[in-house]
Structure 1
Amino acid sequence: MTTRFSPRTRLRIAAVAAVVTVAAAVLTVIDAGNRAQSLDLGSPLWAVDAAEVLGREFAIFRSPLGGTEFNMEMGGFIDADSVVVTMAGMPDRQSYSLDDAELVALDAADGSVRWRSSAVDIGGCSPTLLDGSLLCYSGPYVSADAYSIFDIESGERRDVVTPWTPIIAVVWGDNVLALEGDIESNDVRVHSGTVDDPQANWSKAFDVGGSWESGYVEPVMSVRGGLGLISLDETLGFDPKTGDQRWLYGYTTCSSTHTSSDGVTLVSERDCEGDGQARSEYAIDQYGHEFASADSPPTGSGSSFSWRYSRDEPSGGTVPIILGDSGFDRKTGEKLWTNREVFGSARSLAVIGDVVAVTDTDATIRVVDLFSGEVLWDTRTERTGDVSWNGDLVVDEGVVYGVNARTGQRTWEVRVEPDGDDGFGSWVQPRELWGGERVLLRVSEDRITALKRS
């Protein structure tokens, strides 16, 4: 186990949170167009240490979305406008679990703790609020099967027993969708209802499944653009209103899929042997109809579609989709442009409005116009931008700065104090950025720092 320095040796925060009042400096930078400009080098708004919150020296922050068992997501919050909810506890480095966990609600304006509540029996929480409350569920590793509802203002908790063990539960409008059953036996069921009547709307059994581990890699169930998704070793689309199955696609274990915010699913089918390149790439609509396909890349042309979507927020239904190294009309499937040089070696895509930030294998960010496929600007950075906030691409290089997504011009900068020794293994990033409605946050295991507020 990697040695960790005590938080007492780091920058300490007086009480639970403190507002930083250091005067801003002026910094001259060169933007993407090689133009010199002067920016105020701002200071963080506030910072909170996990050790201070729990009163325990080696406490850490974790995402509340995955609960306390096998929780390896360092970042992750539940955005409740004026409040952000995170989870804090004591790490078990051998099992990757979080002991003595608590849900912690932080005021987005000043970082003060609004409320704390025990989360030792929480298997996960929905990222979307339910009528002003946080919906969590028990998960498979506790004795009681229940929903747990936390009032977002007070933290008051109410538990409702369910007739089955929820693997995951998500809020969709006024409804709660819950998945339960046996993943390894392809025997899962989804129920739609309310907290007090979990099966009020419908209950459906689905012949879909995967390995035990597949239930912990990505959200097993989600709703995107009016399409319900069960994502395991195979992916199933269903109508969240009725529970009717729309489509089912099975893949090799080396294949990948991504469903956009409007329900369009991009599929890259791969062989696990040989060069591992994509053999078939296509897009399907909400009803499972294939409407666009990309030519398989020639051998040695690059990985093509091996990227992950770090962010996907197109500005509307006319913004093209990316399939392979080309842009396609997301309604008709017409190919609009091709840019193999950029997308052939891409590793991460962040769709922001009508542009896409493409992170290359050498940590170069190229921002591409989605309508033309042309590179608008590029830059090289050690920590690439996976987050946008208020229209800016955000990059963390110790100094965290915002960049106009279309021009590459820096718009603001904030200098952040180093967090000390963040690392304890290669399976987690040392820090992350997270943008909510009210506040932009920088997160490490030990500290949450507010950078900007809208």
Structure 2
Amino acid sequence: MAWPPGIRNLVLAAVAAVVTSTVAVAVLLHPEDGTRKITGTVDAAPGLAWSIDAVAIDGRASAEFRDPVAGTEFDLDATGFVDAGDTVVTVIGVADGSMVRDPVMYGIDATTGATRWRAPAGELGGCAGTPVDGDVVCFTSPMAEVPALVGYDVASGAITRTPTDWLVFALAAADDRVYIAEGDVESDDVRVHAGTLADPDAYWTRAFAMGTLWEDLSSDALDVSRGQGVLALGADVAGFDLGGGDPTWTAQLHGCSRITQTFDALVLHDHTGCAGYSPVGAEILDRTGRALVATNGEGVHDLTFDRPADATIPVLLADGAYDRRDGTVRWTDTDLVQNGPDRNGGGANRGTATAVLGDVALLHDPATLTATGVNLRTGQRLWRRNTERFGAVHGWDGHFAILTDATGLWAVDLRTGEITWDIPFLAVHADPDAITGEGELSAKGNGHYIYAARRTIIGLRPLGG
């Protein structure tokens, strides 16, 4: 059949339009992956998916990222973000002496680095490190004109304010509950509440006759992250049940002592002398305050990352690994205690474990300049290597430990000790001040990471995905 010229041209134009539209749809459905290979890195290293700069986002010449958990009332120089899944929530402000000037809360797309929203963030005393019911929950400074709990919607940045006449000094979150500590610490008149953003004492309220000086109040006075609540005010420490708030035990800190929570509601009570900051003893307390095991002097382990697989993984103290339920010795190893002083003349008899990752402990002995991987279930040494470089473990993806120092990030295979990849900060950004150490890392899974420094936040993901 022969088409008249006019009809034929119309048909061809329609077909061309359909083909063009189809191609356009295909492009939209399969966007090009813009992940860039970082110069000088091995193929196994993740590439740079995105990079954002605080100055470029905020517009002020000295703008920097700050961790919302630390609040905005004072500048504690803490860099970081709240990981809320598809969104990371951070603060941008300008350091001005001991203050953060004109702080703003930002929601950043974890996949692209795009700014999803921004909201004012002045006069915040602190925020919970995990979201609750879709909100990052914060509290206002005691000096705020209208004290309140403040929620930032993770998806939109919409602000919810719950006014309160409480003198809130600490806030934490776990299992979709908000825990608030408030009262006059200098009068030993303190209460802890469990509730929600809208109803902060919905579940329970408990009074604690303990306190400290306001200037001695710790930024981590309230901890609910390990299966029980711990309130630490000066020398006074108390444990409490998260479900009903019932007090379970008390303890006293002396000198430069400290407490550290670990998995399954265990607490390490580290008795440290202020002279030379030397350990003089320690014990591990269970959720009732009973001492499972104690040591005199040596071997307190300072873990920068503590994530045991489950309650069958023993807890470390001195040169021993102890059952978390009854305190029995599972195995011992002299490698768990530092062999003599390090290059600065200190550290002798300190514990060498720096991270517990699933069923592996990562040890570092600065006296012998060795790193070691140990199977925590058996005490078997998996590997050992000499190393001049050893950073802090800031992440774990189930297989690799991600370490950071002032120069970059690198991944260590926990089973072999091999360095799988190494990303120098200068290979990502030529400005040596743009990305530095002492930042915060989040392992998002499947080789995806986010790292936040003061001036720059970067997203990393496998090349091609």
Confirm or deny a common fold (TM above 0.5): yes
1:222 aligns with 2:201: no
Q: Which has the higher contact order (CA 8 A, sep 6+)?
A: 1
Q: Which residue of 2 aligns with 1:408?
A: 417
Q: 1:395 aligns with which of 395, 403, 409?
A: 403
Which residue is 1:51 aligned to? 55
The residue that corresponds to 1:358 in the other structure is: 363
Partner SS for 2:57: helix
Asked whether the equivalents of residues 25 and 42 of structure 1 are also in contact (C-alpha less than 8 Å), the reply is no
Would the alpha carbon gap of residues 197 and 341 (structure 1) be closer, same or farther in structure 2, given more than 3 Å must change? closer
Letter in 2 for 1:49: D
Q: Are residues 41 and 330 of structure 1, via their aligned partners in 2, closer, same or farther at CA, if it must alter by over 3 Å?
A: closer
Counterpart for residue 78 of structure 1? 82
Whole-Å separation in 1 of the counterparts to 2:203 and 2:225: 19
The offset of 1:79, in angstroms, is 1.1
- Unaligned ranges ≥5, structure 2: 1-32, 339-349
**In the alignment, is the contact (CA less than 8 A) between 2:303 and 2:355 conserved in 1?**
yes
Label 1:447 to 1:364 Cα distance change in 2 as closer, same or farther (>3 A): farther
Is contact 1:123-1:139 (8 Å) kept?
A: yes
Quote the offset at 1:179 in angstroms: 0.5
Instruction: Give the match for residue 159 of structure 1.
Output: 161
1:297-376 superposed matches below 5 A: 297=298, 304-305=299-300, 307-344=301-338, 345-346=350-351, 349-361=354-366, 364-376=370-382
The amino acid of 1:289's aligned partner reads R
CA distance in 1 between partners of 2:40 and 2:272 (Å):
50
8 Å CA contact 1:25, 1:41 repeated in 2: no
1:73/1:356 CA distance change after superposition, 3 Å? farther
Give the fraction of aligned pairs with identical amino acids, expressed as a percent: 29
1:261 aligns with one of 248, 260, 263: 263
Native 8 Å contact 1:258 1:309 kept in 2: no
User: For 2:214 and 2:122, how far apart are their aligned partners in 1?
Assistant: 22
| Aligned residue identity for 2:453 | S
Amino acid at match of 1:312: D
Residue 245 of structure 1 corresponds to 247
In 1: Cα distance, 2:417 partner to 2:364 partner: 14
Contact 2:80 2:453 in 1 (8 A): no
Deviation sequence 1:60-91 (CA, Å, 0-9, x none) = 11100010133325333211111111111000
- Do the aligned partners of 2:82 and 2:89 also contact (CA within 8 Å) in 1? yes
* Counterpart-to-counterpart distance in 1, 2:38 and 2:455: 25
Q: Is 2:70–2:78's contact at 8 Å kept on the other side of the alignment?
A: no
- When structure 1 is superposed on structure 2, of 376-385 and 352-361 the one drifting more is 376-385
Aligned-residue RMSD, C-alpha? 2.6
State which drifts further: 401-410 or 313-322.
Answer: 401-410
1-structure distance, mates of 2:430, 2:396: 23
What does 1:111-260 align with in structure 2 at a 5 Å threshold?
A: 111-216=113-218, 218-233=219-234, 234-260=236-262
Distance 1:359 1:141 in 2: 44
Q: CA deviation at 1:199?
A: 2.3
C-alpha distance in structure 2 between counterparts of 1:133 and 1:366, whole Å: 40
Q: Counterparts of 2:40 and 2:72 in 1: how far apart (Å)?
A: 43
Helix, strand or coil at the partner of 1:154: coil
Task: Tell me, yes or no, if the aligned pair for 2:147 and 2:163 is still in contact at 8 Å.
Answer: yes
After superposition, where does 1:405-444 map in structure 2 within 5 Å? 405-416=414-425, 417-418=428-429, 420=431, 422=433, 430-437=437-444, 439-444=448-453
Quick check: 109-118 or 262-271, which moved more?
A: 262-271
Deviation at 1:289, TM superposition (A): 1.2
C-alpha deviation, 1:59, in angstroms: 0.4
Q: Which runs of 5+ in 1 are unaligned?
A: 1-18, 28-37, 298-303, 424-428
More helix by share: 2
Could you tell me how far 1:356 is from its partner in structure 2?
A: 1.5
The Cα shift of 1:320 comes to: 0.5
* Aligned equivalent of 1:60: 64
Report the secondary structure of 1:184's partner residue: helix
**2:290 equivalent to 1:289:** yes
Instruction: Tell me how far apart the structure 2 counterparts of residues 445 and 254 of structure 1 sit (CA, whole Å).
Output: 30
CA contact (8 A) 1:42 1:413 kept: no
Measured in 1, the distance between the counterparts of 2:256 and 2:247 equals 25
Distance, in Å, in 2 between the alignment partners of 1:419 and 1:189 is 50
The AA in structure 2 aligned to 1:183 is V
